[in-house]
Amino acid sequence: MSIEVQLHNRVLRVKLNRPEKRNALNLATCRALNQAILDANRNPAVGAVLITGAGPAFCSGMDLREAEHAGHTALADAHDRLFTIREWAEKPVIQAVHGPAIAGGTGLAANAHVLFAAEDASFGLTEIRLGLWPVLIFPAMIAAVGERRAVELALSGRIFSAEDAHEYGLVSEIVPQDELQSRALAFAEMVAGSSAMALRSGLDYVRRIRGKPLGEALEIGRTMRDELMRHGDFAEGVRAWKEKTKPDWPSLREV
């Protein structure tokens, strides 16, 4: 199987599972990842998604041997979907990167809402070395590191470290390699235990205000705030705050 999927404590753990190919993104893997995220959207028992990689590399990018022979339409469609996860994932997507995450691997990482990286992680937009440009992953990279930095990385094709990625804004937190999985999982479980209504609405808000003028963004925010404050989760959150207890979110009782 190109990926392994396991649901526990409201976290859907998705592991890239082609270690012998450094978890290269062939068509089957792209489709499986897309389906896993789609299934998470539809499953109220899932509160967050955690993506990891088996073996010494997180993801070496596109499977070049397959790409030479694959139908371009099918592969392009799968890539279009995969490298825009941040636009359609309704549950928070957390990723834990160790070792190389190169080209499409960097693009996948750029689509995380929160990205943990081991100290040995490395990244790179290396498509220029193949006579390509990282067109599909470029919007996510711009969102993560800004246009000027994304252009420089694409022009140079250089490999950059976890420390550099943290400085640029791609990586949220660097952790020792032996703590990567436990730290990312603990964070995913914490997020998954939050109000499902607030998480879903929050990610929708982030998408809806992107590129909007300030006035329009504020109007969207006011409407969403009013909706959230009318929901039972807000009343429960206030009660728990007053009584200093753990919230029992109504939106999770519906699962």
pLDDT in tens, 91-138: 999 999 999 999 999 999 999 999 999 999 999 999 999 999 999 999
Mean of pLDDT over the chain: 95
Predicted pLDDT at 74:
83
| Percentage helix, strand, coil for the chain under 3-state DSSP, each rounded to 5 | 55, 15, 30
Mean per-residue pLDDT, 48-72: 87
Q: Which of 6-10, 16-20, 74-78 has the lowest mean pLDDT?
A: 74-78
Predicted confidence band at 66 (pLDDT cuts at 50, 70, 90)? confident
Residue ranges of domains in the chain, CATH in brackets:
3-192 (3.90.226.10), 196-253 (1.10.12.10)
Question: Of 55, 50, 160, which is closest to residue 115 (Cα–Cα)?
Answer: 50
Tokens read off for 139: 């919007």
Tokens read off for 235: 């009343």
**Given a cut of 70, is residue 69 above it in pLDDT?**
no
Mean per-residue pLDDT, 83-87: 95
